[in-house]
Amino acid sequence: MGNGPQVSRRAALGMLAGGVVVGAAGARVGFGASGEGDVGGTQGDLNLTTEEAQAALKTYVPPGKYDPYFIFASGGHSGQMGVIGVPSMRLLKIIPVFSRDSWQGYGFGTDAGNVVLEAGSADDKSDPLYWGDTHHPALSETEGDYDGRWLYINDRANGRIAMIDLRDFKTKQIVDIPNIQTSHGGCFVTPNSEYVHISSMTPSPWTDSGYASLDRYKEDFRGASSWLKIDQQTGHLDMANSFQIELPPYTQDLADAGKLTSFGFGFINSYNTEMATGTAGKADGQTLEAGSVANDFDFLHIIDWQKAEQVVADGKTTVRNGMKVIGLQTAIDEKLLHFAPEPRNPHGIDVNPTGDYLCVSGKLDPHASVYDFTKVKAAIDSEDYQGTDPFGVPILTLESVLEAQVELGQGPLHTQFDDKGYAYTSLFVDTAVAKWALGPKAGHDGADAFTRVETLPVQNNIGHLVTAEGDTVNPNGQWLVALNKWSIDRFPPVGTLHPQNFQLVDLTGSNMKILLDSPIGWGEPHYVQMISADKLTNVMQVYEPGTDPATFATSEFAIEAGEERVERKGKDLHVYMSVLRSHYTPDFIPGKVGDKLHLHLTNVEQTPDATHGFAIPQYNVEASIDPGEVVNIDLDLNRAGSFAMYCSEFCSALHLEMQGWLQVQP
Ligand code: RUQ
Ligand code: CUA
């Protein structure tokens, strides 16, 4: 990554601290002695206050230099993910995941995207799903720290999960998870990337037909906690070695993995433990909104996944739709599932970096409820129960496990952490970030333990937030980004659908300070993770010659220059084509109506950035072939015509000449 970011950061900080700094090139820039001076004239031109100019310097990444952090952002129902540099907040890339992307040839008649997208649609769906609601990204971890290998993201809408390889930033696998319809809880990755977890959101009927009357909600509907095994070589999800735990038909919400002190456990919040179903078509029925807030408490689900692993190994599972399932009664009998009461309708559950504190955000309660894991474990071991739920799941005694309730403000949703024992919780209703101190096990045993120390208003209506590596065992504590749902008035009007607003917050000063508004005009991100750029050590700039990106192995269809050919076997027309600046070889495809065309394109270049496109007008084909990559396209030639195929990526001076003909004789 070079040393650009460090130099630019140091320059910016030095300027703020000392007023004068010698920049990387040796030129002097400075403020007046009071810090009130102009920054090289620009401050005046842009009409900036000194504070604004200082903020600009902190976020400025000079041309050619790199950002020290990467954000991986979900894109909501755009089905994509965004890669954003921090602190510049520059958009570096969009990664298509659940939806098509013509730039990258993802899902346009090419194997790269189509195979992944189609494999990720359940068999009973007549059409592949071409959209998803990307929700909670989860980076792979080693010993609780991001390791820069893989990235997972769930589809909240369709209960699926995708895996992205951070060698080439491409989606490699989509799995439609059996027995859940929608998903929300997770994804989280366990500390050594043993599993990625995802649980259902709204429960679904566990009946053979997939239908059940809402009158039988309690009997027939179920939730599930899914533990999907990660293949340690490829990062792919190994469904044969995955399992689910059957859960009561509550709405399981956010979830997080235990770490260090709480390693081996997973935690899921819930709401609608009332099992309200909405009006269910009844004139006097109650809305779900009203029915799901009746109880004072819902249940924090506490899952011992190491115990669950043992139960699976002992064969105490049934198989449902191809998935090993630990039944609810087995989970109770084996003592791998416990509940703790949590104030009604909470939202986020976040485990602090030491793994000691489980922080539950109240949503309808102005507090964060902090549970001490050591107490939770002791209560489990001593069977310190205050009762059971309607399904027989033991409920731990609240007073025995609750460590503190910290008053934060209205509408707490999600919490992230820094390296100094502070927690940062988003307040949706107050549209603010609350900074608060954790307790003794996070280094705060003085008067500030479990108290709010600062509130920072943000614009507008924050959902999630992220701090640098803020959900690992080792947060960096430098930056916070508020993921604001509304951006009203923050940007010039661009029509009736507004961008979202990511606000970059500096955590290094004595107070939290907003440095930058960053419009997100390509999706509706829910959650992001922020990783130090120097952890992304495996990123490729070109593929090895002839690589199949699905496996990173040499493709059986790869060719070298000189091996191009056209082979006809009856109606099957195989074309082995090389691609380089600025021609296709061969540039002529002799087809007939009724042929099956199998195109095998090899980009024989090894120059970084020498990507070529391959588009066939009116045949809905658009491929992107990166240097070294092999792309296969299967096409039924069902229409006669002369089709001018062309390179869609501006690759060279003679890019416009990079053309050929697909001839389909009547
Ligand atoms: S959730 S804004 Cu779907 Cu991540 Cu809390
Ligand atoms: Cu190749 Cu344009």
CA 376 to centroid of ligand 1, rounded, Å: 25
Question: For atom 2 of ligand 1, which residue has the closest CA?
Answer: 463
Q: How many whole angstroms separate alpha carbon 542 and alpha carbon 552?
A: 11
Chain position carrying tokens 């191809």: 322
**285 CA → ligand 1 middle, Å:** 28
Quote the pLDDT of residue 515: 98
Q: Is 112 in the pocket of ligand 2 (CB under 6 A)?
A: no
pLDDT per residue as tens digits for the range 50-107: 999 999 999 999 999 999 999 999 999 999 999 999 999 999 999 999 999 999 999 8
φ/ψ of 574, rounded to 5, equals -100, 125
| Ligand 2 pocket check for 649: Cβ under 6 Å | yes
Q: How far is the CA of 24 from the centre of ligand 1 (A)?
A: 42
Binding site membership of 135 for ligand 1 (Cβ less than 6 Å): yes
3-class DSSP state of 307: helix
Give me the phi and psi of 585, to 5 degrees please.
Answer: -125, 120
Nearest to 2 by CA among 90, 85, 63, 64: 64
Query: Which residues on neighbouring strands pair with residue 265, listed in sequence order?
Result: 304
Distance between start and end Cα atoms, the chain: 55
Q: Residue 540: what pLDDT?
A: 97
Taking the CA of residue 71 as centre, how many other CA atoms within 13 Å lie in the half-sphere pointing to its CB?
31
Looking at residue 109, its pLDDT comes to 72
Spatial distance between the Cα atoms of 122 and 109, rounded to a whole number of angstroms: 19
Q: Return the pLDDT at 372.
A: 98
CA 348 to ligand 1 centroid distance, Å: 8
Residue 185: Cβ within 10 Å count: 31
Cβ(300) – ligand 2 distance below 6 Å: no
Q: What is the mean pLDDT of each run of 10 residues along the chain (666 residues)?
A: 36 36 38 49 78 95 98 97 98 96 87 79 70 97 98 96 98 96 94 98 96 97 98 98 98 98 98 96 92 95 98 98 98 98 96 98 94 98 98 98 98 97 98 98 95 97 97 97 95 96 97 97 96 97 96 97 97 98 97 97 98 95 96 95 98 97 98
What is the predicted pLDDT for the residue at 157? 94
363 lines ligand 1 (CB under 6 A): no
464 lines ligand 1 (CB under 6 A): yes
Residues 6+ apart with CB under 8 A from 254: 136, 184, 185, 268, 269, 347, 348, 349, 414
Q: Nearest Cα to 289, choosing from 345, 343, 363, 250?
A: 345
User: Residue 426 CA: which ligand 1 atom is closest?
Assistant: 2
| d(CA 656, ligand 1 centre) in Å | 46
Q: Which atom of ligand 2 is nearest to the CA of 647?
A: 2
Give the separation between CA 526 and CA 428, rounded to whole angstroms: 13
Q: What is the DSSP string of 538-549?
A: T--SSPPTTEET
Would you state the pLDDT for residue 8? 38
Q: What is the DSSP letter of 497?
A: S
Closest by Cα among 219, 171, 217, 174 to 198: 174
Closest-CA residue to 246 (of 208, 214, 220): 220
Q: What is the pLDDT of residue 1?
A: 34
Ligand positioned closest to the Cα atom of 647: 2
661 and 575 in contact (C-beta within 8 Å)?
no
Work out which ligand 2 atom sits closest to the CA atom of 579. Answer: 1
Q: Is 136 in the pocket of ligand 1 (CB under 6 A)?
A: yes
Residue 662 Cα to ligand 2 middle (Å): 17
Cα–ligand 2 centroid distance for 627 (angstroms): 12
Is residue 521 within 8 Å of residue 493, measured between CB atoms? no
Q: How far is CA 644 from CA 103, 471, 586, 661, in A?
A: 19, 51, 14, 5
**Cross-strand bridge partners of residue 402:** 371
- Whole-structure pTM value: 0.93
The alpha carbon of 98 and the centre of ligand 2 are apart by a number of angstroms equal to 27
Contact status, residue 268 vs residue 245, Cβ threshold 8 Å: no
Q: Ligand 2 within 6 A of 658 CB?
A: yes
Distance CA 336, CA 330 (A): 9
Strands (E) in 34-180, as ranges, are: 69-74, 80-86, 91-96, 138-142, 145-155, 160-165, 170-176
162: left (phi over 0), alpha (psi -120 to 50) or beta: beta
